[in-house]
Structure 1
Amino acid sequence: MSDPVLSLVDVSLSLKGNAGMVDILHGITLDVAKGETLGLVGPSGSGKSSLLMVMGGLEQATSGTVTALGEDLTARNEDGLARFRKHNMGVVFQSFHLIPTMTALENVATPLELAGVADAFDRAEAELAAVGLADRTGHYPSQMSGGEQQRVALARASAPRPKILLADEPTGNLDETNGQAIIDLLFDLRDRHGATLIMVTHANDLAARCDRVVRLRDGRIDTALKAAE
């Protein structure tokens, strides 16, 4: 694979727990190609979400290197990582993490304003329309269903036109119907913006739509395989 969008070399992660340091990831080496859709799967506690957080610079690797778009993330401090994410990455969590005192439009527009985008509210409105919420822009999170809140979160993540889109169990808090709609929207956002999509999932139907699936077990890559056509 030439010039991967994301490259991890011998990455390990240890975090402090109640009983001392806990080893989460062990020697992960992995490349992700531009435009690829990669699924991270495995049993609970296998390190999937931790690996995604390391990829996004939301957790600093204890050892090894993480390179994204040619930039060494392991050499950056927290402010530098935040700046990099602001311009290059979108993140969607299982919990929606919307600001409850802001409308849907404000939730999507605020990161754009912080990034200095001149037409922040126009772009936010367009992204909300793209996820089917053109008539919900003035609603607050408490006035929306879980599926609608996740759509707002998707719009917020995609509005800055990220080159890399990370999703951590994006359908985990949704029923089957809303979950399927979010899956379709994720792949639509990937296609519209040409982003590389990396997601953690327990859903077999979502993993099956990925170009490649990487299976983790006990903080290590268990198998890497191409998803079924």
Structure 2
Amino acid sequence: MTEPVLTLQNAALSLDGNAGPVEILRDINLTVKEGETLGLVGPSGSGKSSLLMLMGGLEQTTSGRITALGQDLTSMSEDALARFRRDAMGVVFQNFHLIPTMTALENVATPLELAGHRDAFDRAEAELAAVGLSHRRDHYPAQLSGGEQQRVALARASAPRPRILLADEPTGNLDETNGAAIVDLLFGLRDRHGATLVLVTHSHSLARRCDRVVRLRDGRITEEASQEAAE
């Protein structure tokens, strides 16, 4: 039986609003197995991105427990969470979050250097080649198109060969052609490194490529379906 890489038990998230606490997520119980591709779908404001942030330790639960690769994320300090993400997770955001003063190659190499890899730039070059951007290695983010910036972000997330890859609307800021190319690259990187992939999306075609789809509404899971059932 495949071991889970992510387990959420009665996870909840509340944030302080002007009128008091606002419940973002409630009673989330979810298990993600190793090598699985999971799509998080639902209307805007349903809690999809917040759930992804909880999985990555980028938001702390108000209550409940989250376990990733056998580690209890809810009991970790911010520094411990940062080290865990560095060593075990890759995160791809909708808005790229590239460092504007660094070239594409430097952006990809940075997390590898922080992790102490002596071959950081060699591995960064290989990842840029894998996303078709060897010829743009010395360009800065402002000199790249949106699709190219997202490719750099994908290369940066996958370069440390994480066991868990999280993607928040990876095609949200791209046109249809670039979005389709990014999806192919994302699944290709997942296959190449054997990572478990969890992604937030509004795209029905992207969701259909996932092994399983979880639908959220008003901060709760309302439906889980395998790929066959989702179709």
* 1:125 alignment partner in structure 2: 125
Cα distance in 1, alignment partners of residues 15 and 157 from structure 2: 27
* 1:135 alignment partner in structure 2: 135
Q: After TM superposition, list the pairs within 5 Å mapping 1:2-151 onto structure 2.
A: 3-151=3-151
* 1:171 alignment partner in structure 2: 171
The alpha-carbon deviation at position 227 of structure 1 amounts to 2.0
Name the SS for the 1:5 alignment partner: strand
The alpha-carbon deviation at position 21 of structure 1 amounts to 1.2
Q: TM-score, normalised by structure 1?
A: 0.98
| Larger mean Cα displacement after TM superposition, 179-188 or 15-24 | 15-24
The residue identity in structure 1 corresponding to 2:71 is: E
Structure 1 residues without counterparts, runs of 5 or longer: none
* 2:183 alignment partner in structure 1: 183
The residue identity in structure 2 corresponding to 1:36 is: E
The residue identity in structure 2 corresponding to 1:30 is: L
Cα distance in 2, alignment partners of residues 201 and 10 from structure 1: 23
Q: CA 1:37–1:181 in 2, change beyond 3 Å: closer, same or farther?
A: same
Cα distance in 1, alignment partners of residues 143 and 227 from structure 2: 38
The alpha-carbon deviation at position 168 of structure 1 amounts to 0.2
Q: TM-score, normalised by structure 2?
A: 0.98
* 1:125-152, Cα deviation, whole Å (9 max, x unpaired): 0000000001000000011000000000
Cα distance in 1, alignment partners of residues 150 and 161 from structure 2: 18
The alpha-carbon deviation at position 17 of structure 1 amounts to 1.9
The alpha-carbon deviation at position 2 of structure 1 amounts to 5.1
Name the SS for the 1:43 alignment partner: coil
Number of residue-to-residue matches in the alignment: 229
* 2:204 alignment partner in structure 1: 204
| Contact map agreement 2:37 2:211 (CA 8 A) in 1 | yes
Q: Where in structure 1 do 4 or more consecutive aligned residues deviate above 4 Å?
A: none
Name the SS for the 2:136 alignment partner: coil
* 1:160 alignment partner in structure 2: 160
Cα distance in 2, alignment partners of residues 127 and 17 from structure 1: 41
Cα distance in 1, alignment partners of residues 20 and 123 from structure 2: 46
Cα distance in 2, alignment partners of residues 2 and 97 from structure 1: 33
RMSD: 0.9
Name the SS for the 1:135 alignment partner: helix
Cα distance in 2, alignment partners of residues 121 and 132 from structure 1: 16
| Contact map agreement 2:92 2:153 (CA 8 A) in 1 | yes
| Contact map agreement 2:2 2:34 (CA 8 A) in 1 | no
The alpha-carbon deviation at position 226 of structure 1 amounts to 1.0
Cα distance in 2, alignment partners of residues 165 and 7 from structure 1: 15
Cα distance in 1, alignment partners of residues 83 and 8 from structure 2: 20
Percent identity for Structure 1 against Structure 2: 76
